[in-house]
Amino acid sequence: MAEDIHKGNWLAWRGPLQTGVSLESYADFEFNETPVWTDSISGQGTAVVFNGRIFSWGYRGSGPDLEEVVQARDEKTGDVIWEFATHDFLSDTIYNRYSIGAVAVDPETENVIVATTYGLVTCLNKDGEQVWQVSMMERFGRLTFPNGRAGSPLVDGDIVIIRGVTSYWGANGPARDRFFGFDKNTGEHLWTSVPGVGPPYLKDTSMSTPFLETRDGKRVFYAGTGCGNIVCVNVNDGTAIWRWQVSKGGINSSPVVYKDSVINIHGKENLDTTEMGRMFRIKIPEDFDAIDGEVDPIQKGARRLSEDIEVWRETLEMFTSSPTLHDGKIYQMVKTGSLICVDAETGKIHWEEKLANSQLHASPLYASGRLFVSTFPGEFYVINVEGDKPMIENQIKLDGNGIGTPSICNGRLYVHTTEKLYAFEIKNSGIEYASAPEVVLPEPGEAAKLLPVPSDLLLRSGESATVTLKQQDAGGVIIGDGGTASWETFIPPTAKVKATMDAFFEGNTIGAGEDAALSAGAWKGTEGELAGYLRGRVISNLPYTEDFEGFELATKPGGSVEGREFDFPPLPWIGARLKWEVIENDGNKVLSKTLDRVLFQRSLSFIGHPDLSNYTLQADVMTDGSRRIKSVVGLINQRYIISMVGNANILEVSSNHERVKESVPFPISANIWYTLKTSVDVADDGSGVIRAKAWPKDQPEPEAWTIEVKHKNAHKKGAPGIFGFAPQSQKTVFVDNISINSND
Q: What is the pLDDT of residue 159?
A: 98
Asked if 529 and 578 sit in the same domain, the reply is: no
* Residue 422 included in any domain: no
* Residue 77 included in any domain: no
* Residue 108 included in any domain: no
Asked if 609 and 469 sit in the same domain, the reply is: no
Asked if 454 and 589 sit in the same domain, the reply is: no
CA distances in angstroms from 258 to 102, 208, 211, 262, 323, listed in the order given:
24, 17, 11, 6, 11
Asked if 602 and 505 sit in the same domain, the reply is: no
How many Cβ atoms from other residues are within 10 Å of residue 634's Cβ? 29
- Peptide bond connecting 454 to the previous residue in cis, omega within 30 degrees of 0: yes
Asked if 527 and 506 sit in the same domain, the reply is: yes
Asked if 517 and 623 sit in the same domain, the reply is: no
**Average per-residue pLDDT in the chain?**
93
CATH of the domain at 504: 2.60.40.10
Residue pair 166/174 in contact by the 8 Å Cβ criterion = no
Q: What is the pLDDT of residue 298?
A: 52
Domain encompassing residue 486: 449-539
- Peptide bond connecting 406 to the previous residue in cis, omega within 30 degrees of 0: no
Residue pair 627/657 in contact by the 8 Å Cβ criterion = no
Asked if 582 and 713 sit in the same domain, the reply is: yes
Residue 7: name the closest of 440, 413, 432, 441 by CA. Answer: 432
* Residue 216 included in any domain: yes
Q: Which of the listed residues 539, 567, 601 is the one where a domain comes to its end?
A: 539
Q: What is the pLDDT of residue 656?
A: 87
Asked if 532 and 568 sit in the same domain, the reply is: no
AA identity, residue 100: I
* Distance (Å, whole) CA 561 – CA 555: 10
Residue pair 329/263 in contact by the 8 Å Cβ criterion = no
* Residue 410 included in any domain: no
CATH of the domain at 558: 2.60.120.560
Asked if 579 and 454 sit in the same domain, the reply is: no
* Residue 40 included in any domain: no
Asked if 287 and 201 sit in the same domain, the reply is: yes
* Residue 42 included in any domain: no
Q: Which of the listed residues 319, 342, 375 is the one where a domain comes to its end?
A: 319
* Number of domains the chain is built from: 3
Q: What is the pLDDT of residue 557?
A: 86
Asked if 648 and 720 sit in the same domain, the reply is: yes
Asked if 198 and 305 sit in the same domain, the reply is: yes
**Residue 578 neighbours by CB under 8 Å, 6+ apart:** 167, 173, 174, 175, 594, 597, 600
* Distance (Å, whole) CA 205 – CA 316: 21
**Residue 264 neighbours by CB under 8 Å, 6+ apart:** 208, 224, 230, 246, 251, 253, 254, 255, 256, 279, 280, 322, 323
Q: Which of the listed residues 319, 338, 363 is the one where a domain comes to its end?
A: 319
Prediction pTM value: 0.96
Q: What is the pLDDT of residue 2?
A: 40
* Residue 260 included in any domain: yes
* Distance (Å, whole) CA 640 – CA 12: 33
CATH of the domain at 251: 2.40.128.630
Q: What is the pLDDT of residue 363?
A: 97
pLDDT averaged per 10 residues, the chain (length 744): 75 96 97 97 96 96 91 97 95 83 96 94 98 96 80 95 93 91 98 89 83 96 95 96 93 96 96 94 93 67 85 95 97 97 98 95 97 97 97 98 96 97 97 92 95 97 97 96 96 84 97 95 96 95 96 91 93 92 96 85 91 97 87 96 95 91 96 97 96 97 97 96 87 96 94
